[in-house]
Chain A
Amino acid sequence: MTTTTKMIGQAIKRREDPKLITGQGQFLDDVKLTGMLHAVVVRSPYAHATIKGIDASKALALPGVVAVFTGEDMSDINPLPCAWAAGKVDNNLNTPRALAVGKAMHVGDGVALVVAEDRYIARDAADLVEVDYEPLAVVVDAKKATEPGAPQLHENAPSNIVMDWECGDREKTDAAIAAAEVTVREQIVNQRLIPTPMETRGSVARYEPATGEFTVWMTSQAPHVMRLLLAAFVFGIPETSVRCISPNIGGGFGQKIFVYADMAFTMWAARKLGRPVKFVEDRAENYQSSTHGRDHITDVEIAGTRDGRITGLRIDTLANLGGYLSTIAPGIPTTLYGRITTGVYKIPAAHCRVRGVYTNTAMVDAYRGAGRPEASYLIERMVDRFAAEIGMDPAEVRRRNFIPPEDFPYSNGMGLLPYDSGNYGPALDRALQIVGYDALRAEQAEARKQGRYLGIGLSSYVEICGVAPSAWIGLPGEGWGAGLWESANVRVHLTGKVVVTTGSLPHGQGLETTFAQIVADELGVPYDDVVVEWGDTSGTPFGFGTYGSRSLAVGGTAIVKTVAKVREKAKLLAAHMLEARVEDIVWEDGKAFVKGSPDQVKTLGDIALQAAVAYSLPEGMEPSLDETTYYDPPNCTFPFGTHVAVVDIDADTGAVSLRRYVAVDDVGTVINPLIVDGQLHGGIAQGVAQALTEGAIYDDDGQLVTGSLLEYAVPKASLFPQFETDRTVTRSPVNPLGVKGAGEAGTIASAQAVMNAVIDALQPFGVKHLQMPATSERVWNAMHGGTRGARS
């Protein structure tokens, strides 16, 4: 029926690139509207303070200043919604408003808005707004926030607890641990990270009084969802009055999924002032007031037998969620973390408790991997700890506990949908073979004799992609306040050109290219005849956007199913045109012909023309080749693999250098290897950075010490070697393409590969665990006994 595969699997270069490499991309700050005003936010210098008064008179006196607004001015709109509360437990919800009212909850909390004719004037005026603060006691650490006597941030959240959630089997786990031959306990911190897309966030809002309609340009990974949340929840107006447009997005990594204050206050101010209003964060603002990621403190215990069988896993996590809840904050450390903490292992008894905690810090929400990096870091560190405890090679312990291939689909007992497919052994074997594991172990032994320290770290991971079946993740079960299906529309123009519109929102993933490859094959048309459109709520069907490595597995499948509808209709019409029975129509290379008469051909263009002019259609057929699908996946997908890091440690300084990095991933079917490898490279880099350089630090007063790129160490090119990538391919049975997803796998796999290598290198010093990031000083201390806490 379809033609032989031509495009899927090919490493073709991206169609997105010509404009981006010539400076023709259109990013948010490039949006310029007639009469546009510029907004600058006055932000709290205190982490916790009562706002006693705001005097804007000096600012208003500056020529060019149009208005200064406070949170109270905007009391006619609602707080931003939290759309994902933790499932089946009470959630003490507190969300931010467009501007703070009464109290500031973290440094950088927006307190007033200055709107002026240009951004220089607005910036000058912001310094002239006088805010009278009364500082309050501050708490930034999740553990301290739950202790008696800690400052209470919100009236409805005693002990600053957002929610107390659990999964797995507590009794069985307690029993397994009590009965175990070997138990290992550790406190593992997954430090706070700042996502740092290279483009900061921002919004431009326009209001048309005549129609009451808003148009909002935004740096959003999910403009349809933003439209829904802003219209229905924040402004209480019909969705039809708001059009959201995401132009080119300069990286998201999760930070650009959420609804933010600036979307609301630019809309509000544009309506109030009758002129478009633009707001773009500077980097300091992005660091202080856009979302952060991770920030877990976990007490964990693993139990097993002397011959390397893991028998139990008990986890108790405090998840710092910041001063308010961001859009999907409680869902990340619960559904996307707790439920996959058993990783690639068949563990008979496991339990995970998670408490979300308010602190006087920026909101914490999804950051690349979102819950799954925290889970895989935890289990992979503990497997290494267990291996060291029983004196077994870490590769062997992994092999002994892998979920065997015959067990798929596999339920892990943590309330997750069954893992779709997997075969973990070959990826481990391949990674060890590429890195030359045995030779490295020999080199390591030799080096240690000479006082040189190299370490080899493994990470075997599984993650959750292609989120998610709405019936599972939705409110009654997992607490997600909507569905997670995805949409696609495919229409064939009269000339035979195919236009695909998707609710996915590419921002670096190369989806325009990937989707076009799929459509070219599925419809049998030339790749160049396929156009992919996205990003504008007025031109695309509703979709939930791009995150959670879902765009190919869910969005791509929606396209495949839509193309199938187009093809079937085209065949029906071709049969009519060729005066044949549809059963006799052969579809090949984008053309229809009657079986046995390949000279009697109708091209897709011929058929599209006939469908459009429509003067001779089969009985009951609607005009036009234009189909839409709303696809809800039956399951998530579960990519996996093994990564190996090799590090050298400078014994004098503690400096860690990453000598090699080998990644063997299984992301299911690969549509474009160039793009998949690129996704993995970037993902790996972010995980390596968590292991070695990055970490957001608040001091006890709640000041963000790592408040700029001078202090927060986003990695540079010199940190990395060339990555060595390979893959195994295990098709996902969940979708017709057999794809799993690749956007987050690298990040989910890499931090623990590097940390396991660092700790492996430090084994002669008796080091059993080290918290991230493994800065030179931290390693040096561990080698020289500077922090006894590093040893146990």
Chain B
Amino acid sequence: MTTTMAIKVTVNGETRVADVEPRTLLVHWLREDLALTGTHIGCDTSQCGACVVHVDGRAVKSCTMFAAQADGCAVTTIEGLGAADALHAVQDGFWEEHGLQCGFCTPGMIMTAAELLARNPDPSEAEIRHALEGNLCRCTGYHNIVRAIQHAAKGATA
């Protein structure tokens, strides 16, 4: 009864082909079908940012996008940003500056920060806080998240 549609998406550099229901949210496709569970779901209303991934290089809330809309796009998730032995500068910044506690918001936070630094390699503290408006963290008070991003920016521009 349910009709599906074929999509082809490059995910973390790998071409993935799938048949999905049109209503399949990108975040569900990534998590359930591709087992990329680093992308999290924290709200229903596009507020929290735990699900942020990059679509064609731009930070996107994957809970507010259908997998069908990603057809033909390149998606990068936290798993594709860097690995434990080859961390992205932002990942390293979060580790060095204690930018995470429970770690649930962290993947989305890192993806948002990575996009910020790609656009603006040397942001001010105010610019960093403004860029984090769509990512909620309940553990850190954002203090060390800001420092983590500053750490990453320093590393990238040094």
A touches B in complex, CB < 8 A: yes
Closest to A195 in B: B138
Q: How far is the CA of A341 from the CA of B147 in the complex (A)?
A: 36
Annotate A659-685 by CB proximity to B: 1 below 8 A, 0 otherwise.
000000000000000110111011111
Residues of B within 8 A of A746 (CB): 141
Given the interface pairs A20-B100, A682-B140, the reply to whether A709 lies near B38 with Cβ below 8 Å is no
Given the interface pairs A30-B37, A675-B98, the reply to whether A21 lies near B91 with Cβ below 8 Å is yes
Given the interface pairs A678-B140, A717-B146, the reply to whether A199 lies near B102 with Cβ below 8 Å is yes
Given the interface pairs A20-B106, A682-B139, the reply to whether A29 lies near B78 with Cβ below 8 Å is no
Annotate A708-720 by CB proximity to B: 1 below 8 A, 0 otherwise.
1110001011101
The answer to whether A678 touches B133 (Cβ under 8 A) is no
Q: Any chain B CB within 8 A of the CB of A783? A: no
The answer to whether A248 touches B103 (Cβ under 8 A) is yes
Q: Any chain B CB within 8 A of the CB of A250? A: yes
Residues of B within 8 A of A253 (CB): 138
Annotate A266-288 by CB proximity to B: 1 below 8 A, 0 otherwise.
00000000000000001110000
Q: How far is the CA of A14 from the CA of B98 in the complex (A)?
A: 7
The answer to whether B38 touches A283 (Cβ under 8 A) is no
Q: How far is the CA of A686 from the CA of B141 in the complex (A)?
A: 8
- CB of B44, distance to nearest CB on chain A (Å): 5
The residue from A17, A23, A199, A678 contacting B37, defined by CB atoms under 8 A apart:
A23
Q: Any chain A CB within 8 A of the CB of B62? A: no
DSSP class of B's interface residues: helix, strand, loop or mixed?
A: loop
For window 695-731 of A, CB contacts with B under 8 Å fall at 708-710, 714, 716-718, 720, 722-723
Given the interface pairs A27-B40, A717-B129, A718-B130, the reply to whether A709 lies near B45 with Cβ below 8 Å is yes
Q: Any chain A CB within 8 A of the CB of B144? A: yes
Of residues A250, A283, A677, which shows the largest number of chain B Cβ atoms within 10 Å of its Cβ? Answer: A250
The residue from A284, A508, A677, A718 contacting B103, defined by CB atoms under 8 A apart:
A508
Q: How far is the CA of A18 from the CA of B47 in the complex (A)?
A: 26
Q: How far is the CA of A59 from the CA of B100 in the complex (A)?
A: 42
Q: How far is the CA of A509 from the CA of B84 in the complex (A)?
A: 21
Q: By the criterion of a CB under 8 Å from any partner CB, how many residues of chain B are at the interface?
A: 60
Q: How far is the CA of A108 from the CA of B134 in the complex (A)?
A: 27
Q: How far is the CA of A129 from the CA of B129 in the complex (A)?
A: 45
Q: How far is the CA of A683 from the CA of B140 in the complex (A)?
A: 8
Q: How far is the CA of A199 from the CA of B37 in the complex (A)?
A: 13
The answer to whether B141 touches A723 (Cβ under 8 A) is yes
Q: Any chain B CB within 8 A of the CB of A408? A: no
Residues of B within 8 A of A120 (CB): 21, 23-24
Closest to A710 in B: B45
Residues of B within 8 A of A685 (CB): 140-143
The answer to whether B138 touches A198 (Cβ under 8 A) is yes
The residue from B79, B110, B129, B138 contacting A714, defined by CB atoms under 8 A apart:
B138
The residue from A19, A29, A682 contacting B101, defined by CB atoms under 8 A apart:
A682
Residues of A within 8 A of B40 (CB): 27, 29, 198-199, 250
Residues of B within 8 A of A322 (CB): none
Q: How far is the CA of A241 from the CA of B68 in the complex (A)?
A: 44
Q: How far is the CA of A201 from the CA of B148 in the complex (A)?
A: 28
Q: Any chain A CB within 8 A of the CB of B26? A: no
- CB of B153, distance to nearest CB on chain A (Å): 15
Q: How far is the CA of A677 from the CA of B143 in the complex (A)?
A: 10
The answer to whether B44 touches A708 (Cβ under 8 A) is yes
Residues of B within 8 A of A508 (CB): 101-103, 139
Q: Any chain A CB within 8 A of the CB of B5? A: no
Residues of A within 8 A of B84 (CB): 18-19, 22, 24
Q: Any chain B CB within 8 A of the CB of A423? A: no
Residues of B within 8 A of A678 (CB): 98, 101, 139-140, 143-144
The answer to whether B102 touches A197 (Cβ under 8 A) is yes
Of residues A20, A684, A708, A709, which shows the largest number of chain B Cβ atoms within 10 Å of its Cβ? Answer: A20
Q: Any chain B CB within 8 A of the CB of A200? A: yes
Given the interface pairs A684-B141, A685-B142, A717-B145, the reply to whether A16 lies near B45 with Cβ below 8 Å is no
The answer to whether A198 touches B100 (Cβ under 8 A) is no
The answer to whether B128 touches A251 (Cβ under 8 A) is no
For window 496-516 of A, CB contacts with B under 8 Å fall at 507-510
The residue from B24, B44, B103, B130 contacting A17, defined by CB atoms under 8 A apart:
B103
The answer to whether B133 touches A251 (Cβ under 8 A) is no
Of residues B38, B107, B138, which shows the largest number of chain A Cβ atoms within 10 Å of its Cβ? Answer: B138
The answer to whether A708 touches B77 (Cβ under 8 A) is no
Closest to A248 in B: B103
Q: Any chain A CB within 8 A of the CB of B43? A: yes
Q: How far is the CA of A17 from the CA of B131 in the complex (A)?
A: 23
Q: Any chain A CB within 8 A of the CB of B87? A: yes
Closest to A29 in B: B41
Q: How far is the CA of A13 from the CA of B23 in the complex (A)?
A: 42
Residues of A within 8 A of B135 (CB): 717
28 pairs of residues in contact across A and B, judged by CB atoms under 8 Å: A14-B95, A18-B95, A21-B87, A21-B91, A21-B100, A22-B84, A23-B39, A23-B77, A23-B78, A25-B38, A29-B37, A29-B40, A120-B21, A120-B24, A199-B40, A253-B138, A283-B43, A283-B48, A682-B101, A684-B141, A708-B47, A709-B47, A709-B136, A714-B136, A716-B136, A716-B142, A720-B129, A746-B141
